[in-house]
Amino acid sequence: MQKFTSVCFWVLVISGLTACQAPSRYTRAVDSAPDFEYTEPEMVDAEPRYEPYREQNSLPYEVFGKRYQPMTTGKGFVQTGNASWYGQKFHGHFTSNGEIYDMFAMTAAHKTLPLPSYVRVTNLSNQESVIVRVNDRGPFHSDRIIDLSYAAAKKLGYHNNGTTSVKLEVIYVDKQNMVTVGNEPPVPYALYAGQLPNESDLHIASEAADKANLITQTQTPQPTQTIDAVSAPAGSSPVAVTTPSSDIAKGYYIQVAALSDGKRAKQLSDGLSSLYQVPAQVPLIDDIYRLRLGPLTDRFQLQMLLDELKKNGYPGAYTIEATL
């Protein structure tokens, strides 16, 4: 009788423990697209900005017996491979970053990128792209490099499929608001975002060219001042210094714009010079900063750069032969 009582006791204990076990984290066994009515997401890209990495997300971790070491920085990171997506099963649950997963937001999961990171994802099958904020870990499949939210996958046009081939380019924003996209040169955030100076502050170069009839003509040399990019401390206003005529460069230039604000002219010239990998000059003439790229000696390169500038938001750009 004592033995029977002991057995019954342990059966009850085990049954009680089983009943007290916490339910599974996910209520669904299989992931899926939303199976309820919802308002169609706006499909607006995540907006890159400076965010410090969270230290706890940089610690190594292990999943399915495999150890992962998160990267210390995403700057310059480019990767190609297969992307998958995750949806309703994970909707409303915590991400690895401690945020709530929203399958209608432009987010993603990556195994080793620092959290949070911003990534431009391009679907290589149709060249559609989306910018997502990486705030989660995964996917833990050897043949996949990123898990996009349902909305991001829908924007790329593969939400009806399991995976697609993609290219990843980290959009890295530093404390100084300089932006590096993949392995491209860093540029000021305003240039990355296509934010030109205000029309009230920008004297479009073509107007000056029409007025003075300078297009493709030789400009009469005149005393100038140039912003000294070397001596100007970081974060300070540009310093105008007189440039001796014997040290002045000659050749063909592209005048991009003319601005009254020297600091903005300097910022824009640094960004364009970095982006197009050509020298930039900002002479001060008649109290106006003339933003010029050059000198260039190759007429073909000159024309290609001019066409590129006009296409990318500088329709008033024009070529001159000048002494700076």
| Domain end marker among 127, 152, 181 | 181
pLDDT digits over 190-219, tens only? 778 766 555 444 555 545 444 444 444 444
pLDDT exceeds cutoff 90 at 72:
yes
Q: Which residue has the higher pLDDT, 116 or 22?
A: 116
| Coil, strand or helix at 84 | strand
| 16 vs 64: CA distance, rounded Å | 30
Q: Report cis status (omega within 30 of 0) of the bond before 197.
A: no
Residue 286 lies in a domain: yes
Tell me, yes or no, whether 65 and 126 share the same domain. Answer: yes
pLDDT exceeds cutoff 70 at 161:
yes
| 104 vs 98: CA distance, rounded Å | 17
pLDDT exceeds cutoff 90 at 82:
yes
Residue 251: which domain range? 195-323
Domain count, the chain: 2
Q: CB neighbours of 120 closer than 8 A, spacing ≥ 6?
A: 129, 130, 131, 168, 169, 170, 171, 181, 182
Of 130-134, 260-264, 280-284, the least confident: 260-264
pLDDT digits over 273-289, tens only? 888 889 998 988 888 88
pLDDT at 132: 97
Tell me, yes or no, whether 125 and 199 share the same domain. Answer: no
Closest of 257, 254, 238 to residue 197, by C-alpha:
257
| Coil, strand or helix at 269 | helix
Tell me, yes or no, whether 144 and 84 share the same domain. Answer: yes
Tell me, yes or no, whether 147 and 254 share the same domain. Answer: no
pLDDT at 197: 55
Tokens standing for residue 137: 């870990």
Asked if 249 and 243 touch (Cβ cutoff 8 Å), the reply is no
pLDDT at 40: 80
Where b means 16+ CB within 10 Å and e means fewer, 272-290 reads: bbbbbebebbbbbbeeebb
Computed over every residue of the chain, the mean pLDDT equals 77
- CATH code for the domain in which residue 160 is found: 2.40.40.10
| Domain end marker among 114, 147, 181 | 181
> Could you tell me the pLDDT band of residue 185, with boundaries at 50, 70 and 90?
confident
- pLDDT mean over 257-265: 83
